[in-house]
Amino acid sequence: MKKILGIVAIMTIATTAFTYAQGKTDVALNQVLTAYYDVKNALATDKKDIAIEKVKVLSAKVNAVNHKDLPADQHKTFMEQAAIIKSKAAQLAGSNDIKTQRKAFEGISYAMIKTLRGLKFNSKTVYIQHCPMAKASWLNEKENIENPYYGSMMFDCGDVAETIKSK
């Protein structure tokens, strides 16, 4: 009986520790999502200098995620997509041309979409939006379209392709 109680106690502690670690990772991933929105909002309003600032924050937030606590399949997804996000973030940060920035942002967006679908960490509803003119998608914190690929030229061009409810 003592052995059973001991095993139950160990399992409870381990489960609690994992849940706590997962919660901290989810918080960090939601900070990545918020930083992503900041880049999206800068591009949607044609603010290329702010996009450069914000994408550096995004890259730092990706680096700050404690991915070691993720289950193996989620860890693999995160590592693959984080590499793409950081590479495309460097491209965006290295350009003063808003068209080049928007092309890099497209890669960031697809990696973020894959990360969100694979890890299901969002604490709020997320809208996957799509612009048929750009043939590209992005994440938005609002249902209203704010097109980062055309900015003020076609600010509300696009539609909500998918809604991902908070977990």
| Separation between Cα atoms, residue 11 and residue 43, nearest integer Å | 48
CATH of domain 2-121: 1.20.120
Q: What is the pLDDT of residue 6?
A: 47
C-alpha torsion angle, residues 44, 31, 97, 105 (rounded to 10): -80
Model's pTM, two decimal places?
0.86
Of the candidate ranges 17-26, 40-49, 60-69, 90-99, the one whose mean pLDDT is the lowest: 17-26
Q: What is the pLDDT of residue 69?
A: 84
Mean local confidence (pLDDT), 72-84: 96
β 126-131/136-140 pair status: antiparallel
Structural contact between residues 126 and 98, judged by C-beta atoms closer than 8 angstroms: no
AA identity, residue 141: E
Q: What is the pLDDT of residue 25?
A: 84
Residue 23 pLDDT > 80, yes or no? Answer: no
Using CA atoms, how far residue 37 sits from 32, 72, 105, 131, in Å, is 9, 27, 11, 17
